[in-house]
Amino acid sequence: MPDQLINQIAAGEVVERPASVVKELLENSLDAGASRIDIDIEQGGIKSIRIRDNGSGIHKDDLALALSRHATSKIRSLDDLEQVCSLGFRGEALPSVASVSRMTLTSKQQDADGWQVQGDLPGELKPAAHVNGTTVEVRDLFFNVPARRKFMKAEKTEFTHLEEVVNRIALSRFDVDIQLSHNGKVVRNLRAARSEAENARRIATVCGETFVEQSRHIHFDADGLSLRGWIALPVFSRASTDMQYFFVNGRMVRDKVVAHALRQAYQDVLYHGRHPAFVLYLQIDPALVDVNAHPAKQEVRFRESRQVHDFIYRTIHQALADVRPGESQPAAGGQETYPFSAQNKPPDAGFISAENRYVPQTISRQNAMSFQVAEQMMAYASLAATVQDMEPPLSAADHPDQNLHPLGYAIAQLHGVFILAQNAIGLVMVDMHAAHERITYERLKQAMAAGALAAQPLLVPLHIAVSEREAQLAETHQALFTELGMELNRTGPTTLGIRQIPVLLARGNAEILVRDVLSDLASHGSSDRIRQALNDVLSTMACHGSVRANRQLTLPEMNALLRDMERTERSGQCNHGRPTWVQFSMNEIDSWFMRGR
């Protein structure tokens, strides 16, 4: 095959659309140590893409080489590949792009002259005026590949994809100035960020102000792994997974293990069908991660995927558990914010009338469920008794110091739905049912963890046929099943027997659950399904066992609820991901009355 054809075939994997060209070129600029990158786009990148950087430049003798296949200055041996710290390493991008476009490469190294080479005439070098650094110009992408050309979308769509690539690069390197222009107009000017406030500004440019206001900064190191970044509070959830940025050693990746760990960490606090938002950075020994899993380098393989999964899950799960009243930690901007201060209250919180406020279940569905729930309630008596024991006595707090209690003191109940309380900042409104529901739920979970989980032996053991690998997995992970009240044995090379299940799951389909767990174990090395199924039941019970609207509470009862909220993990939102309380500051209340201070 002629070289040109080989490159075009490789281009099929690396160069999908203008955005993928931009990704490869930006990665090259970063690898070259650039601190400033200018991106000029015409017609969504279909007409031209020009990227100029102030990096190290390319030596005259290497210019033509850079356009030849598998010429990379970044690795020399397999050992290097195992330790790769640069974004590129395959030596494929420039020749691939050059084979499907009209490319010009101009570069100048410090104390040398500038030179230029044309993609279709790699041998012919021309002197060219250029400041230190490199400019790559890519015109008429796919002009010689009609099949690909047809698949390009409208200018606007291609530009949107391209902008997303710039976003990712911008979030991967806060220390680099990046300017993006489209058809001669500057559309994004990102200045290098050097302080917390500037970090916040860069994140706001990419993810929006609201994300910054409603996120927590986290940083956790353990066992040679480090995870830092920003996670959105559960009230800032998304309809899709569009705001999920995860970087491994500075490289943005989409990874199944990571995605699963994060989904699981948010599971208990997000409304069904909603997705979390985050910008997270994982640092890991490069030898423990294989970045050469795909030509586009967006997938990785972790050597110890189970360890990485658990580390991410535990870190995020704990960070979310700490979201409760009184917990205050600098948000991205570096200033103290309460989870739902008046300035950043979630769109559906604040003044919500009793009619259209969120009610977890409609009446009809509630009736339909009541038999099942009643039955579970009975099976559950022992657990419930344990919870009763844990309930603190309802009594007014002994020393009314507003600074001691972040949620302050109850002053009234509004329409039987909200508790109004006064704290040092101003007015607190609490959704009584939502708050109580979360508290009950967390207690039920604690009781379950304390071993109060009742198990029910099956009269006739349930046998299920599985593959040999699944049978092995079940055997290896037997403790996982036992811990959650399920007794499962391997009864043959390809059969499992279930002898006992948790009472709470008596009405579910144990076989499907076990199969799903095995499939999780096969693909992620861990599974949280049984616990999740149990939590779902607990959550329903908590909902039904919690104070209903229109129940009059006394002030001591209301105060007891406020104190419970302060003590309870995840009490900033109910089991459905809705906020449980909103803070209004005196300043904001003054402003309602146009009252200056």
Q: Which of 440, 423, 424, 442 is nearest to 432 (CA)?
A: 440
Q: Taking CB under 6 A as the rule, does residue 413 contact ligand ADP?
A: no
Q: Taking CB under 6 A as the rule, does residue 91 contact ligand ADP?
A: yes
Closest residue to ligand ADP: CB criterion: 88
Chain positions 128 to 187 lying near ligand ADP, rule: CB under 6 A, are: 134
Q: Taking CB under 5 A as the rule, does residue 176 contact Mg ion?
A: no
Please state the three-class secondary structure of 133-188 as a single string. EEEEEEECCCCCCHHHHHHCCCHHHHHHHHHHHHHHHHHHCCCCEEEEEECCEEEE
Q: Judge whether 505 and 487 are in contact, CB under 8 Å.
A: no
How many residues touch Mg ion under the rule CB under 5 A: the total is 3
* Distance separating alpha carbons of residues 360 and 544, to the nearest angstrom: 10
Report helix, strand or coil for 411.
Answer: strand
**90 touches which of Mg ion, ligand ADP, none (CB within 5 to 8 A by kind)?**
ligand ADP
Q: Taking CB under 6 A as the rule, does residue 446 contact ligand ADP?
A: no
413: alpha, beta or left? (left if phi > 0; alpha if psi -120 to 50): beta
How many residues touch ligand ADP under the rule CB under 6 A: the total is 22
Given the complex with ligand ADP, which of 90 and 309 has the nearer CB atom?
A: 90
Q: How far is the CB of 334 from ligand ADP (least distance, A)?
A: 34
**577 touches which of Mg ion, ligand ADP, none (CB within 5 to 8 A by kind)?**
none
* Distance separating alpha carbons of residues 323 and 577, to the nearest angstrom: 12
Q: Taking CB under 6 A as the rule, does residue 90 contact ligand ADP?
A: yes
Chain positions 19 to 38 lying near Mg ion, rule: CB under 5 A, are: 28
Q: Taking CB under 6 A as the rule, does residue 423 contact ligand ADP?
A: no
Given the complex with ligand ADP, which of 37 and 541 has the nearer CB atom?
A: 37
Q: Which of 234, 271, 572, 272 is nearest to 435 (CA)?
A: 572
Q: Judge whether 39 and 178 are in contact, CB under 8 Å.
A: yes
Q: Which two tokens stand for residue 477?
A: 């992970």
Please state the three-class secondary structure of 498-540 as a single string. EEEEEHHHCCCCHHHHHHHHHHHHHHHCCCCHHHHHHHHHHHH
Q: How far is the CB of 226 from Mg ion (least distance, A)?
A: 26
Q: Nearest 5°: phi and psi at 25? A: -70, -40
Q: Taking CB under 6 A as the rule, does residue 28 contact ligand ADP?
A: yes
The one segment of 91-99, 282-290, 403-411, 419-427 that binds ligand ADP by CB under 6 A: 91-99
The one segment of 91-99, 160-168, 255-263, 451-459 that binds Mg ion by CB under 5 A: 91-99
Q: How far is the CB of 26 from ligand ADP (least distance, A)?
A: 9
Contact with ligand ADP (CB under 6 A) among 22, 66, 484, 504: 66
Q: Which of 267, 271, 262 is nearest to 244 (CA)?
A: 262
Q: Judge whether 312 and 262 are in contact, CB under 8 Å.
A: yes
Taking CB under 5 A as the rule, which mask of x and - marks residues 93-112 in contact with Mg ion? Answer: x-------------------
Contact with ligand ADP (CB under 6 A) among 10, 39, 58, 64: 58
Given the complex with ligand ADP, which of 55 and 485 has the nearer CB atom?
A: 55
Q: Taking CB under 6 A as the rule, does residue 92 contact ligand ADP?
A: yes
Q: Judge whether 233 and 215 are in contact, CB under 8 Å.
A: yes
Show contacts of 315-319: CB within 8 Å, 24+ apart: 315/218, 315/220, 315/227, 315/265, 316/218, 316/227, 316/231, 316/261, 316/262, 316/265, 316/266, 316/278, 317/264, 317/265, 319/216, 319/218, 319/220, 319/231
Given the complex with ligand ADP, which of 250 and 497 has the nearer CB atom?
A: 250
Contact with ligand ADP (CB under 6 A) among 93, 282, 320, 373: 93
Task: Give the Cα-Cα-Cα angle 448, 452, 455 (nearest 5 degrees).
Answer: 100
Given the complex with ligand ADP, which of 38 and 92 has the nearer CB atom?
A: 92
Q: Which helix (H) or strand (E) holds 300?
A: none
**89 touches which of Mg ion, ligand ADP, none (CB within 5 to 8 A by kind)?**
ligand ADP
Q: Taking CB under 5 A as the rule, does residue 44 contact Mg ion?
A: no
* Distance separating alpha carbons of residues 90 and 132, to the nearest angstrom: 25
The one segment of 42-50, 51-59, 485-493, 508-516 that binds ligand ADP by CB under 6 A: 51-59
Chain positions 275 to 294 lying near ligand ADP, rule: CB under 6 A, are: none
**452 touches which of ligand ADP, Mg ion, none (CB within 5 to 8 A by kind)?**
none
Residues in the chain: 597
Residue numbers at the binding site for ligand ADP (CB under 6 A): 24, 28-29, 32, 53, 55-58, 66, 71-74, 88-94, 134
Residue numbers at the binding site for Mg ion (CB under 5 A): 28, 88, 93
